[in-house]
Structure 1
Amino acid sequence: METEELTATLREAGLSPYQADAYVALLSLGSASAAELADESGVPRPRIYDVLRDLEAEGYVTTYEQDRLYAQATPPGELDPLRERLSRLESALDEIEARYRTPETRESDVTLVTQFETVFAQARRDVESAERHVQAVLTPEQFEELRETLAAAYDRGVYVQVSLYAPAEEVTLDPDDFVGVCTEVRRRGFVYPFLVITDRVRVSYAPPRHGASEYGVLVDDRWTAYVFHWFFLTSCWEMFETVHADPRDAPPITFVEITACVRYIEERLHEGATVHVTVDGYGVRTGRRRTLSGTVVDVDYLGHDDDSVASLAQLSARATLVVETADGTYTVGGEGAMTEDVSADRIVVERVERD
């Protein structure tokens, strides 16, 4: 590095022009009297004493008296001011890199980002904080990256549904690989966008990574997330093969989709059984969290016919449970319910009593 470049760099590091000139000159001299240093560096003699005092205060030089004032440069290994500044600059660079890769993403309800890594990182954070439900559309590689995070969520009691891209002719899946990680896994044979929905509120979405264009959408809004929820249910879930599902042989049995719950309960009601449930959700009119416990006295859906099995189209249009509790009778719908009393996030069939 040339002398002029070194001097300019020291100025950028916080030294004044006179301080930088004096310090660089002193490095060449080793040690010198104040007068000699003034002559060598071009710093005016009346100013050299103040300059040396300031350099010593900042740790760059050491002064001592003989017949006059002398100065010598501090050994490089002891240049704490520069090292501290360098450390701060390195930390700042690391922070710039982190914020560039993963900017704050919850400043608005919907955020458009330009890198898949940002979408994936937000999805991981959302799964880490999920309380009730995770729906994910993943490739096998993405699943492996999220495996530990999904398993931790499952251990917390979160209902984990994964739609996995695994063409039957190309990939062999072992159901045991998903035990303790997912509640349900289904196999699809088509490439779909990356999608993670948590608690029906937060969404991390990115289209398939083809071509030079790359973007993603992050959502933190229940009604916007509702669109992605139905995309997941109707396009990534219902029609595909089940690879793994936690046993539903006996209660308690948890449902996160009103459609599957209505089908299960309607069959038991036809058998004359009494079905006891706990419903977690929120009041449709108040928006507040709501929990109900009681018995299901009826089900209702579009085109309800006691002699037929409900189709997905019927249940998607409207699916309702009628629950009798100690406080009265309430109607329960699924996500996005508009006319029912309660919109359910989770329904647990606690027990089924048969006469």
Structure 2
Amino acid sequence: MDDRELADLLERFGLSEKVIDTYLTLLELGEAKASQIADAAGVSKRYVYSVSQELEERGFVEVNDHVVPTTIRPLPPAEVVESLSESVESMRPALEARYTETAPDEERFEVIKSRVTVLKRIAELVDRAESEVTLSLPYDVLDEVADELRAARDRGILISLVVSGVEPHEDLSLDGLASLVRVWHEPMPTMLTVDSRIGLVAPGEMVARSNSESQAIVFAQPHLGPVIVGSFFGNYWPMAAEAYTTEPDSLPATYHNFRHAVLQATLCDRAGIELTVTAHGQMVHTDGPTELSGRIVDIRQGLLEPANNSFPVENTLVVETDDGTYSIGGPGAFVEDFEAEYVEFAPIS
């Protein structure tokens, strides 16, 4: 660290540039008389006396005025650092007493008035996805975010996409954009969720037309994301027609997103591939094992037609184990027997 960097750090503790220069001069001289320090630092002797009192109060130096002339000695760096640390730590109770927790910028709402900005935010948020994206978008603007969708699929992200404003029988070239694509000829709101915690909602006309006076909202709330996901799969997904479905993944495979696991289990079942699953998590209603292993004997889901779940966001694996048959759900499961944090699939040979 050079002198400039050291000076910048000392400024953070309330020392002026002139005081810092005098102190750094004293560090080089060691114990010295005020006149010596004044000559070396290019300041007056009176100024040195004034500064030395301030530095002594802050724990940087020791002033020996019991001798004539008075000498000033810099304290060892370890003592100075300890003194500064104690001063900083002493602020903690007062700061904590006055601190009001607020959400970081990412967890606040953002109002968007521009169609261009809406599409830019969608692309940015899809690019940040770690496990899952749900998205409804007019077909006419799909190209605006196509690169980000393809990149997310390449990262293994589960993408459920509803394309609106086109007929299901049209040749739409949707391969590679999503895991699942449905098409609806009616206009619908633009809805995006990323990892069930960050998302965007915009009126349909705002994205379809550049001169709309409507506004969109970007949110990052862990409790709001699942509500939007539920609306997406409960209100819009069933109304749209299947247009594209991905192929089963290579096995064995591990899934930390439970909806992704249910989709893959369903694809394997329809391809005639029997699976064993090891689920890691906890029992929902009773104490019990933190791991369940067995053969998948039933799947309840609404991602693929025909749906057989009893409510829109139900995604359940029914597993036959050595100790009996159990139903497995994902994080937040409440109707199933077991809540899985992640699952491992392997084919039954």
TM-score calculated relative to the size of structure 1:
0.51
Percent identity among equivalent residues?
20
Matches within 5 A, 1:37-56: none
1:111 to 91, 96, 109: 109
Structure 2, unpaired ranges of 5+: 1-102, 285-289
Work out whether residues 299 and 316 of structure 2, in 8 Å CA contact, stay in contact via their aligned partners in 1: yes
How has the CA–CA distance of structure 1 residues 241 and 227 changed in structure 2, closer, same or farther, with 3 Å as cutoff?
same
Which of the pair has more CA radius of gyration? 1
SS at match of 2:233: helix
Partner Cα distance (2:158, 2:260) in 1: 11
Deviation, 1:229, is 0.7
What is the match of residue 87 of structure 2?
none
Matched, 1:237 2:264: no
**Residue in structure 2 matched with residue 333 of structure 1 by the alignment:** 329
Equivalent residue number for residue 183 of structure 2: 187
Instruction: Tell me how far 1:194 sits from its aligned partner.
Output: 1.0
Superposition pairs for residues 180-219 of structure 1, below 5 Å?
Answer: 180-209=176-205, 213-219=213-219
Task: State the AA in 1 paired with 2:163.
Answer: L
Shift of residue 232, structure 1, vs aligned partner = 1.4
Query: Which amino acid letter does the alignment assign opposite residue 187 of structure 2?
Result: V
1:266, distance to aligned residue in structure 2 (A): 8.1
Tell me the amino acid that sits aligned with residue 242 of structure 1: E
Kindly indicate whether residue 132 of structure 2 is the aligned counterpart of residue 133 of structure 1: yes
Residue of structure 2 equivalent to 1:224: 224
- Contact in 2 for aligned 1:284/1:337 (Cα 8 Å): no
TM-fit CA distance, 1:189: 0.9
Report the Cα offset of residue 203 of structure 1. Answer: 0.9
**1:143 match:** 142
User: Equivalent residue for 1:173?
Assistant: 171
> Quick check: 1:259–1:312 contact (8 Å CA) kept in 2?
no
Distance 1:191 1:297, change over 3 A: closer
Q: 3-state SS of the aligned residue for 1:153?
A: helix
Contact 2:113 2:216 in 1 (8 A): yes
Q: Within 5 Å, which residues of 2 pair with 1:1-355?
A: 107=105, 109-116=107-114, 117-168=116-167, 172-174=170-172, 177-209=173-205, 213-248=213-248, 256=259, 275-277=275-277, 294-296=293-295, 299=298, 312=308, 314-316=310-312, 318-323=314-319, 331-334=327-330, 336-338=332-334, 340=336, 341-343=338-340, 349-353=345-349
The code of the aligned residue for 2:259 comes to V
Closer, same or farther in 2 for the Cα pair 1:119/1:106, shift >3 Å?
farther
Structure 2 Cα separation of the partners of residues 266 and 219 of structure 1 = 37
Q: Say if 2:332 and 2:339, in contact at 8 Å, map to a contact too.
A: no
CA contact (8 A) 2:309 2:315 kept: no
Equivalent in the alignment of 1:51: none
**Cα distance, 1:148 vs structure 2:** 0.7
Residues 292, 122 of structure 1: alpha-carbon distance in 2 compared, 3 angstrom cutoff: farther
190-199 vs 229-238, which deviates more? 229-238
Alignment CA distance shift 1:228-1:294 (3 Å) = same
TM-score, normalization by structure 2: 0.51
Distance 1:278 1:125, change over 3 A: farther
Q: 1:318 to 1:129 in 2, by over 3 A?
A: closer
Whole-Å Cα distance in 2 between the matches of residues 185 and 119 of structure 1? Answer: 21
For residues 160 and 114 of structure 1, what CA distance do their matches in structure 2 show?
A: 24
Identify if the C-alpha distance between structure 1 residues 122 and 267 changes in structure 2 by more than 3 Å, giving closer, same or farther: closer
- The aligned amino acid for 1:182 is A
Q: Deviations over 1:168-189 (max 9, x none)?
A: 28x8224xx3323322211111
Distance 1:138 1:219, change over 3 A: same
Q: What do you get for the CA RMSD once the two structures are aligned?
A: 4.4
- CA drift of 1:260 comes to 5.2
Deviation sequence 1:88-123 (CA, Å, 0-9, x none): xxxxxxxxxxxxxxxxx9626451404144443332
Asked if the contact 1:252–1:349 (Cα under 8 Å) also holds between the matched residues in 2, the reply is: yes
Change (3 A) 1:126 1:317: closer
* 1:223 Cα deviation from its structure 2 partner: 2.5
3-state SS in 2 of match to 1:256: helix
